[in-house]
Amino acid sequence: MILEALSYGFMQKALIAGIAVGLICSFMGTFLVLRRYSLFGDGIAHVAFGGISVGLFLGVFPLWTAFIVSIFGGIGLQKLRQSTKISGDAAVAVVLVSGLAVGVILVSSSGGFSVDLFSFLFGSILLISNEDTIMILAISAGIIATLVVLQKQFLHLTFNEEQAKLVGLRTTLLNYAFVILASITVVTSMRLVGILLISALIVIPNITAMMFGKGFKKTVCISMGISVISVIGGILLSYFLNLAPSGTIVVIAVGILVGTLVLKSTGLLQKVDIKNPSEITHNS
């Protein structure tokens, strides 16, 4: 039955693009969650909604306008945090509602909601074209390559920005690179789970992975694993049960989170964590 599902071209494209998106969301999400930017994805996705509306209004491919508007939204958010005393969550709220407001105005001016807009709001992974799949793969490869190169810098920036500055990192430049990369990640991922659920893919696999108590690289790997399992499971389950793939993916991710929480509360997760005997001796 699974093989039959996998024989369809739309399923193959959905799985390939979905896995790519799962990987970038979890990798980028590690930094976003640790920097307390968990709702950044939500904010930028709503700005992207404004960008998509601009594209639909002007008759341009909406994803391109979403990219441009979201990158400016991300930079604006960073500026707002740096140059004013507005706190991070309030800055996200300002950017979020601004994007949404522009979107609503343009949508109403162009005659209301269209199928295209709905597909961006709720995701449409089963409907993506060959070109979309190639674009998602290419952008995801670029994001992962950049994150691999800059992971140590981003980790230090995330750990403590002032200390990062003192060891000689160009923190202002890195901060802008970070928000631009995060904005591109969010817009690329919108086709999978949609604007309304994008935060789930950024936040849930990461907070689950952090419960395992591992170092940075292992945490990123666990988070990616949870993401990929959620995406594959969600797409297949939605096919067999005729459900919405975006919602199913997120429900599976939440299920893994709840399962991990239960394991942790019963103490089973700690038992898996085997400590080095020398560590135990020194701390007893």
Partner 1 sequence: MSVTNVLDVKDLTINYDNQPAVDNISFDVQQGDCLGIVGPNGAGKTTLFRAILGLQAFSGKIKLFGFEDSKYKSIIPLIGYVPQKVTFEPNFPATVYDVVSMGLISDKRIVQGAKLIQECGCCWNRIYQTIKKKDDKITQALHTVGLEFLRNRRIGELSGGELQRVFIAKALVKDPLLLILDEPVASVDVESQTKFYNVIKTINKENNITILWSSHDLDAISKYANRVACMNKKLFFHGEKEKFFSDKELLKMYTESSMQMHMHNHDMH
Residue 52 contacts residue 102 (beta carbons within 8 Å): no
Q: Which residue number, 120 or 154, has a Cβ lying nearer to partner 1?
A: 154
Q: Which residue number, 81 or 191, has a Cβ lying nearer to partner 1?
A: 81
Residue 169 contacts residue 153 (beta carbons within 8 Å): yes
Q: Which residue number, 144 or 165, has a Cβ lying nearer to partner 1?
A: 165
Shortest CB 113 distance to partner 1, Å: 40
Distance of CA 78 to the CA centre of its chain: 18
Shortest CB 94 distance to partner 1, Å: 24
Q: Which residue number, 3 or 282, has a Cβ lying nearer to partner 1?
A: 282
Q: Which of 90, 84, 92 is nearest to 39 (CA)?
A: 92
Shortest CB 266 distance to partner 1, Å: 19
Shortest CB 46 distance to partner 1, Å: 26
Q: Which residue number, 94 or 169, has a Cβ lying nearer to partner 1?
A: 169
Q: Which residue number, 57 or 214, has a Cβ lying nearer to partner 1?
A: 214
How many helices and strands (H and E) does the chain possess?
Answer: 14, 0
Shortest CB 199 distance to partner 1, Å: 18
Three-state secondary structure readout of 94-153:
HHHHHHHHHHHHHHHHCCCCCHHHHHHHHCCHHHCCHHHHHHHHHHHHHHHHHHHHHHHH
Q: What is the DSSP string of 50-87?
A: HHHHHHHHHTS-HHHHHHHHHHHHHHHHHHHHHHS---
Q: Which residue number, 4 or 279, has a Cβ lying nearer to partner 1?
A: 279
Q: Which residue number, 63 or 209, has a Cβ lying nearer to partner 1?
A: 209
Residue type at 169? Answer: L
Shortest CB 150 distance to partner 1, Å: 11
Helix H or strand E encompassing 226: helix 216-241
Distance of CA 271 to the CA centre of its chain: 31
Shortest CB 134 distance to partner 1, Å: 33
Shortest CB 149 distance to partner 1, Å: 13
What is the crossing angle of helices 9-34 and 198-210, to 10°? 60
Q: Which parts of this chain interact with partner 1 (CB under 8 A)?
A: 30, 34, 152-153, 155-156, 159-160, 162-169, 209-211, 213-216, 218-220, 276, 278-279, 282
Beta carbons within 8 Å of 241's beta carbon, 6+ residues apart: 248
